[in-house]
């Protein structure tokens, strides 16, 4: 579809410089102009920035300007916020709209000044915008259009509470546009909570990768990754190579090592100041640095035209981040190469990426860099053997019978010995008690029912808690009428307690 057919102002079409609209743009722009909420699954390089900036600026131009912002774009990183601000400035040239960007790494002074002068559009990161809200320097109650750009990344970075705080400060009857590269359960919950009957635009549930990106997976030894990276870039004369690592320390270390190998490199991560990050990006864009080593968070929002190579020096811990990484190349229909170094310890991460992309990966091996440890192979379960006639199972029946017979004999002998001892003990005790009680058989009945304190199954007598109770419990209870003990009236006397320490023998 041509841009002229989307209903945009001629000034916006001219400033954008597009002839044909991408699928995301052709579906999003008319819906946004009609005031509908949007849920778009758009990856980097699909033209999503123009898909929301152009119609939003047209609505701002048609409306009445106030001192408070009427449109707000939330982005996860400074780089992305700065890129969106540059695009908005270029698209809105000549419309007279006031805009500013609010993110960390720069002083508050210039941001305070821009806010006080009155704004139509604000592009901000959640953290710095929350700071301004807490200080009372910005009012979002007039925001009628809220854009959440790369919402999945903001949720991954833990900005959910900040996002909800910002939403609560915006106008109740606002228009909400949500753009995400992935479509997971967290995005679904966020959309169901804050979007009203949204138009779903190019929502990709499979987290697919652009067809213009050629993916290669190299099986390499963990300790020889840097050596392979140096040879790969040097021998193939690669320029503008974006390399991903998992940690900030790893990014600094690898950039320093590549520079020492004769490949000028810069590092990009969250510990760098905004000035350092801007300088590194400019150095990389103009070709002064052949390699940029970056972490996942820092690379979000990097807009490098026609970036030819992306190399995963280390696989990401989250499979969705793989989609974000290689989405830096192959943008706007350009061809790109994504190369991933995979060692044996990253086998689980590789399986998760395959499961996400629903593809079977074939590994390549660089000569001389074969891994010392191979990928773990799943053990195949033994096939069940057919039973023989008269057999009781698949295992060795004779061995089990022998073991059973060996264990049964001592067990039976032990039971017989214990049973005879118990039986002999009971008979002896019964005879002695019967003689002492006059042979009336009352004690024998008590023993059989387990009421005798000398029975093996009888409960142990608890110690009294106080001395008084002890003295009282040692004396037999006296009858009020005849002065005899209750036990004597029943025909038997309790056994006398043995004094002294109790010893336990351990054989």
DSSP codes, 117-136: T--SEEEE-HHHHHHHHHHT
Question: With pLDDT > 70 as the criterion, what percentage of the chain qualifies?
Answer: 70
Q: Which of 11-15, 75-79, 234-238, 448-452 has the lowest mean pLDDT?
A: 448-452
Exposure letters 468-478 (e unless 16+ CB within 10 A, then b)? eeeeeeeeeee
- For residues 186-214, give the mean pLDDT: 82
Residue 365: per-residue pLDDT = 83
Residue 293 has pLDDT above 90, yes or no: yes
The pLDDT tens digits for 148-185 are 999 988 998 889 999 999 999 999 999 999 999 877 88
- For residues 42-62, give the mean pLDDT: 88
The pLDDT tens digits for 471-503 are 444 444 444 444 444 444 444 444 444 444 333
Residue 425: per-residue pLDDT = 53
pLDDT grade, residue 278 (50/70/90)? confident
**Those residues with Cβ within 8 angstroms of residue 406's Cβ, 6 or more apart along the chain or in another chain:** none
DSSP codes, 392-428: SSSS-HHHHHHHHHHHHHHHHHHHHHHHHHHHHHHHH
- For residues 216-221, give the mean pLDDT: 91
Residue 444 has pLDDT above 50, yes or no: no
Q: Which of 145-159, 277-291, 316-330, 404-418 has the lowest mean pLDDT?
A: 404-418
Q: Is 212 helix (H, G, I), strand (E, B) or coil?
A: coil
Residue 476: per-residue pLDDT = 46
Sheet of strand 145-148: strand arrangement: 99-102, 121-124, 71-74, 145-148, 175-180, 38-41, 199-201
Residue 188 has pLDDT above 60, yes or no: yes
The pLDDT tens digits for 446-458 are 444 444 444 444 4
Q: Which of 179-193, 250-264, 339-353, 420-434 has the lowest mean pLDDT?
A: 420-434
Residue 69: per-residue pLDDT = 96
The pLDDT tens digits for 354-394 are 888 888 877 888 887 877 665 554 545 555 555 555 545 44
**Those residues with Cβ within 8 angstroms of residue 246's Cβ, 6 or more apart along the chain or in another chain:** 295, 296, 314, 316, 317
What is the token pair recorded at 14?
């001219």
Residue 294: per-residue pLDDT = 93
Bridge partners (DSSP) listed for residue 311 = 243, 339
Residue 376: per-residue pLDDT = 54
- For residues 221-234, give the mean pLDDT: 93
Highest mean pLDDT among 21-25, 97-101, 270-274: 97-101
- Report whether 191 contacts 26 (CB < 8 A): no
137 or 208, greater pLDDT: 137
Q: Is 147 helix (H, G, I), strand (E, B) or coil?
A: strand
Exposure letters 287-306 (e unless 16+ CB within 10 A, then b)? eebbbbbbbbbbbbbbbbee
Strands 336-342 and 71-74: unpaired
Highest mean pLDDT among 112-126, 204-218, 269-283: 112-126
Q: Which of 103-107, 164-168, 217-221, 465-469 has the lowest mean pLDDT?
A: 465-469
Q: Which of 105-114, 186-195, 291-300, 427-436 has the lowest mean pLDDT?
A: 427-436
Alpha helix stretches (DSSP H) within 262-346? 274-285, 296-299, 319-326
Q: Which of 21, 28, 23 is nearest to 5 (CA)?
A: 21
78 or 480, greater pLDDT: 78
Domains along the sequence of the chain with CATH:
3-201 (3.40.50.300), 213-365 (3.40.50.300)
């Amino acid at each position: 579809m041509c841009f002229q057919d989307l209903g945009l102002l001629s000034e916006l079409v001219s400033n954008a410089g597009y002839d044909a609209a991408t699928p995301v743009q052709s579906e999003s722009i008319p819906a946004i102009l009609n005031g509908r909420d949007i849920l778009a699954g758009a990856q980097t390089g699909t033209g999503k920035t123009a898909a929301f900036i152009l119609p939003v600026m047209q609505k701002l131009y048609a409306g009445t300007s106030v001192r408070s912002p009427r449109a707000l774009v939330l982005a996860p990183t400074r780089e992305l916020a700065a890129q969106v601000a540059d695009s908005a400035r270029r698209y809105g040239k000549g419309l007279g709209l006031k805009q500013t960007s609010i993110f960390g790494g720069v002083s508050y002074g210039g941001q305070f000044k821009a806010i006080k002068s009155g704004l139509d559009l604000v592009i901000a990161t959640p953290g710095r915008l929350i700071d301004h809200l807490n200080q009372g320097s910005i009012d979002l109650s007039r925001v009628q259009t809220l854009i959440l750009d790369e919402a999945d990344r903001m949720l991954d970075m833990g900005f959910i509470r900040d996002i909800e705080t910002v939403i609560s400060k915006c106008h109740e009857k606002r228009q909400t546009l949500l753009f995400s590269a992935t479509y997971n359960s967290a995005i679904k919950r966020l959309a169901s909570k804050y979007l009203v009957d949204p138009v779903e635009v190019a929502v990709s549930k499979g987290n697919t990768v652009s067809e213009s990106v050629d993916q290669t997976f190299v099986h390499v030894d963990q300790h020889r990754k840097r050596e392979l990276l140096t040879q790969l870039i040097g021998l193939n004369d690669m320029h503008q190579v974006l390399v991903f690592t998992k940690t900030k320390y790893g990014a600094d270390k690898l950039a320093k090592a590549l520079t020492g190998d004769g490949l000028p490199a810069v590092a990009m991560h969250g510990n760098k100041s905004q000035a350092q990050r801007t300088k590194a990006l400019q150095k990389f864009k103009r070709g002064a640095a052949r390699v940029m080593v970056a972490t996942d968070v820092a690379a979000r929002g990097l807009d490098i035209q026609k970036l030819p190579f992306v190399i995963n020096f280390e696989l990401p811990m989250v499979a969705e981040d793989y989609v974000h990484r290689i989405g830096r190349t192959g943008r706007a229909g350009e061809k790109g190469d994504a190369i991933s170094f995979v060692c044996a310890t990253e086998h689980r991460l590789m399986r998760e990426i395959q499961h996400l992309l629903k593809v079977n990966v074939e590994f390549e091996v660089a000569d001389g860099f074969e891994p010392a440890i191979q990928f773990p192979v799943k053990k195949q379960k033994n096939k069940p053997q057919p039973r023989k006639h008269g057999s009781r199972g698949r295992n060795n029946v004779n061995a089990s019978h022998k073991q059973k017979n060996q264990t049964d004999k001592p067990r039976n002998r032990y039971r017989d010995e214990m049973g005879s001892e118990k039986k002999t003990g009971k008979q002896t005790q019964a005879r002695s008690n019967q003689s002492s009680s006059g042979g009336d058989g009352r004690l024998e009945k008590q023993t059989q029912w387990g009421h005798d304190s000398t029975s093996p199954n009888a409960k142990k007598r608890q110690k009294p808690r106080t001395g008084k109770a002890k003295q009282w419990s040692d004396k037999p209870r006296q009858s009020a009428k005849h002065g005899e003990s209750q036990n004597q009236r029943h025909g038997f006397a309790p056994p006398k307690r043995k004094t002294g320490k109790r010893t336990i023998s351990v054989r």
